[in-house]
A and B are shown apart, each in its own frame.
Chain A
Amino acid sequence: MRKFLLPLLFLLLFIIESLFVEYLPAKVFGMERIFVPHFLFIAILFLTIFVGRKHGIIYAAIFGLLFDIVYVEIIGIYFFLYPFISYLIYKLLQIIQSNIITAFLAALLGISLLEIGVYEMNYLIHVTDLDFIGFINLRFYPTLILNAVITLVAAYPLKWLFEKHSEALRAE
Chain B
Amino acid sequence: MVPDLRPKLAFVLFLSVCAFAFDWQILLPLIALVLLFPLALPSYHPASDRARHLFFRFILFSIAISGAIIVLNGWILQTGERVEILPGIPLFSDGLLFGVRTAARLLLLSFSVLLFFSSTPIPTCINALQQSGLPRTVVLMLLLTLHFLDSLPERINRIFMAQEARGAPVRAGFISRTKAFFSILSPLLLSSIAESVDRGVALELRGFLLEMAPSAKPALPAQPLSPLTILLLAASFFILVISIARWLLP
Pair from one complex: no
